[in-house]
A and B are shown apart, each in its own frame.
Chain A
Amino acid sequence: MRRWLLRRAVQALLTLAVAVVLLFLITHVLPGDPLSREGAGHPLTAAQIEALRARYGLDRPLHEQLGAFLGGLAHGDLGTSIEYGRPVTGLLLERLPATILLGGTVLLLNFTLGIWLGVRQAVRKGTAEDRWLTTLSLAGYATPSFWLGLVLAWLVGIKWHLLPPAGMRDPVLEGGVLATSADVLRHLVLPAVTLSVVSIAATMRYQRSAMLETLRLPYVMTARAKGLSETRVTWRHAWRNAVFPVLTLFGLWLPILVSGSVFVEAVFAWPGLGSLAASAVGNRDYPLLMGASVLVAAVVVAASLVSDVAYAFLDPRVRLS
């Protein structure tokens, strides 16, 4: 078991390394000169361009640049943002908490509501409720997150004045921890709901199909024959086994969440990594985009690793081999 853990961890590191090199190659091999963005408004002289090129190390051969990049990465240095002129790492860390708050909330919603609905669908398979839930969740998945965000922000935030349509905090609010937290929570609702609506379908469907497979198995019949209540049979016996595929979903689902958060954070001006990435796009700030992508890749790889390990610990057949 320990050996498997080690191998899995090494595999994760390797995957991350490949992802990083891939990202590097993408940005450095493409046509187009990021430096032409610099100094938009006033044209740069040839000498200025040369100086900038040297500053960013763009005049050195490719493998040297890669080496420098990887070396910097090992020290946590992700380069310097073109737009902000500050280290990328610092910028990312600044914005990370807001994204964790939003992402964490959506995760919680998805993996509680999504699981519950998926189980419910499986138990009530073929009923109208089951069919409607499938169609609704598919409709949610089909909705563009940025559009839904705009519509909700406009309707709920502006037209009906129920919740704040943008930002994470009310700038003029003064008060203690409780008041500030409540304020943040109010701002959190719309972006979290938007992101959840578009991503809950995945969890529901996985859970539903895993549950359907499990309910078919003979040990579920054994549990019923013992005289256990239907609730106990469903949750303690069937679901305890049907949750495994949903755990592995976590690694696959995270990229959906991350991509969605770029749009949702941008639309709601939520000060997280997503909106940072969106604005970096507008500014053609590719070091910042690179840094964000590396961070995202690391998170996805880590999430995949965590869910695999969790699976291994929870399934006694794997744990005890």
Chain B
Amino acid sequence: MTRVLDVCDLRVSFPTADGSRLHPVDGVSFSLDRGETLALVGESGCGKSLTSLALLRLVPPPGRVDPGSGIRLGDTDVLALEGEALRRIRGRRIGMIFQDPMTSLNPVFTVGAQIAEGVRAHFPVSKSEARERALRLLQEVGIPDPSARLDAYPHQLSGGMRQRVMIAIALSAEPDILVADEPTTALDVTVQAQILEVLDQLRRSRGMAVLLITHDLGIVAGRADRVAVMYAGQIVEEAATPDLFARPSHPYTQGLFASVPRITGPVRRLTPIRGTVPPPVAWPAGCRFRPRCPQAFEQCELPPGLRPVGSGHSMRCWLAEESS
């Protein structure tokens, strides 16, 4: 398997009013191989969106990616790039899809123009050739009657179609990696499955790697090869999807599963995770999940590292030591 993306100890920090820095992304590491889908799962505020923005160096100022972080695309060190070189990898090596297609598309340009722009930003083709490619992309993402839709404005399309356009834009420069940040959150349930299906098909037909960011465990099953669960800026559990669903090991992951209703099996009470997600300013020292963890013990006052709990399955919890 060719490795296309390597993220090592990624830290993103923001300055605070009193001069110190907060780290909403605090030591995240993962990798992507060609053709696989990795799901990055977590609640809002865990740092998953910032992680994805960091890959393209799009972290909004005054935030920044801290030195010591590593982001590698094959041989390219993303953090060492500047100016023109950086611009060249955006869209061309990694394509991004954002959450809300209504506000993520420019309202004053036609859909076709926005896709073609993505093409021409990276390939020296004529306007008509770019338009041709835009048309083919619209077809590829499954938009009916694409030639008519080329000259449509975003507000004239439905939510699902707009998201397909976003995907087309993300693909316009033929990237190897697709990052989808909550691609279905703003869509109706019926449309969600369609979009996920489109993403899956594109992954297979183009051999891309997909980083799927979501808070919804439901869309992960059957769509992702591996899952990484994030909490308070860190990855707390990582496993192949079937493994994670069969044996969720980290108390947070277990809590997530326990709070999701299931159609199969006996009717049971939902057990929510007590407490709320703390903001970066209020992260406890030691294990960040400790205040909410039903299995916390003394050792948890020290920060745990990622430890293996099975083949290709690791978690950030002192219970890992206990079980081994």
Task: Decide if A and B touch, CB cutoff 8 A.
Answer: yes
Q: Which residues of A contact B (CB under 8 A)?
A: 217-219, 221-229, 237, 240-241, 314-317, 320
Cβ A227 vs Cβ B153 within 8 A: no
Q: Which residues of B contact A (CB under 8 A)?
A: 56, 58, 87-92, 95-96, 98-100, 103-109, 117-118, 121-122, 153, 155-156, 166, 169-170, 172-173
Residues of B within 8 A of A221 (CB): 58, 98, 104
Among candidates B103, B107, B121, residue contacting A226 with C-beta atoms closer than 8 Å: B121
CA A316 – CA B156 in complex, angstroms?
10
Residues of A within 8 A of B118 (CB): 226-227
* 17 A-B residue pairings within 8 Å (CB atoms): A218-B99, A219-B103, A219-B106, A221-B104, A222-B104, A224-B90, A225-B90, A225-B95, A227-B89, A227-B173, A228-B117, A228-B121, A229-B87, A237-B106, A241-B108, A315-B108, A316-B107
In the assembled complex, how far is the CB of residue A204 from the closest CB belonging to chain B, in whole angstroms? Answer: 23
Given contact pairs A226-B91, A226-B121, a sample of 4 additional A-B residue pairs in the complex whose CB atoms are under 8 Å apart: A227-B92, A227-B121, A240-B108, A317-B155
Cβ A222 vs Cβ B121 within 8 A: no
Residues of A within 8 A of B103 (CB): 217-219
CA A74 – CA B260 in complex, angstroms?
75
Q: Is the interface of A mostly helix, strand, loop or mixed?
A: helix
Cβ A218 vs Cβ B100 within 8 A: yes
Query: Given A316-B153, A317-B153, are A222 and B98 also a contact pair (CB < 8 Å)?
Result: yes
Chain A residue nearest in CB terms to B115 = A226
Cβ B56 vs Cβ A225 within 8 A: yes
Sort A-B residue pairs by CB-CB distance and give the 9 closest, nearest first: A227-B90, A227-B91, A225-B96, A218-B104, A218-B103, A219-B106, A226-B91, A226-B118, A316-B153
Residues of B within 8 A of A219 (CB): 103-107
In the assembled complex, how far is the CB of residue B166 from the closest CB belonging to chain A, in whole angstroms? Answer: 7
Residues of A within 8 A of B87 (CB): 227-229
Cβ B153 vs Cβ A218 within 8 A: no
In the assembled complex, how far is the CB of residue A272 from the closest CB belonging to chain B, in whole angstroms? Answer: 37
Number of A-B contacts (CB under 8 A): 74
CA A237 – CA B169 in complex, angstroms?
15
CA A227 – CA B169 in complex, angstroms?
11
Residues of B within 8 A of A317 (CB): 107, 153, 155
Among candidates A217, A218, A225, residue contacting B91 with C-beta atoms closer than 8 Å: A225
Residues of B within 8 A of A241 (CB): 106-108
Residues of A within 8 A of B58 (CB): 221, 224-225
Among candidates A218, A240, A314, A315, residue contacting B98 with C-beta atoms closer than 8 Å: A218
Chain B residue nearest in CB terms to A237 = B106
Residues of A within 8 A of B173 (CB): 226-227
Cβ A226 vs Cβ B90 within 8 A: yes
Chain A residue nearest in CB terms to B102 = A218
Which of A217, A227, A229 has the most B CB atoms < 10 Å from its CB? Answer: A227
Residues of A within 8 A of B100 (CB): 218
Chain A residue nearest in CB terms to B110 = A316
In the assembled complex, how far is the CB of residue A313 from the closest CB belonging to chain B, in whole angstroms? Answer: 12
Cβ B108 vs Cβ A316 within 8 A: yes
CA A221 – CA B90 in complex, angstroms?
11
CA A219 – CA B106 in complex, angstroms?
5
Chain A residue nearest in CB terms to B99 = A218
Cβ A222 vs Cβ B169 within 8 A: yes
CA A229 – CA B121 in complex, angstroms?
9
Cβ B98 vs Cβ A320 within 8 A: no
CA A135 – CA B314 in complex, angstroms?
57
Residues of A within 8 A of B95 (CB): 225
CA A8 – CA B24 in complex, angstroms?
51
Residues of B within 8 A of A224 (CB): 56, 58, 90
CA A240 – CA B166 in complex, angstroms?
20
In the assembled complex, how far is the CB of residue A91 from the closest CB belonging to chain B, in whole angstroms? Answer: 45
Residues of B within 8 A of A240 (CB): 106, 108-109
Residues of B within 8 A of A314 (CB): 108
Residues of A within 8 A of B107 (CB): 219, 241, 315-317
Residues of A within 8 A of B98 (CB): 218, 221-222, 225
Cβ A320 vs Cβ B90 within 8 A: no
Residues of B within 8 A of A320 (CB): 153, 156
Cβ A222 vs Cβ B166 within 8 A: yes
In the assembled complex, how far is the CB of residue B73 from the closest CB belonging to chain A, in whole angstroms? Answer: 13
Residues of A within 8 A of B117 (CB): 226, 228
CA A229 – CA B109 in complex, angstroms?
17
Cβ A222 vs Cβ B105 within 8 A: yes
Residues of A within 8 A of B92 (CB): 227
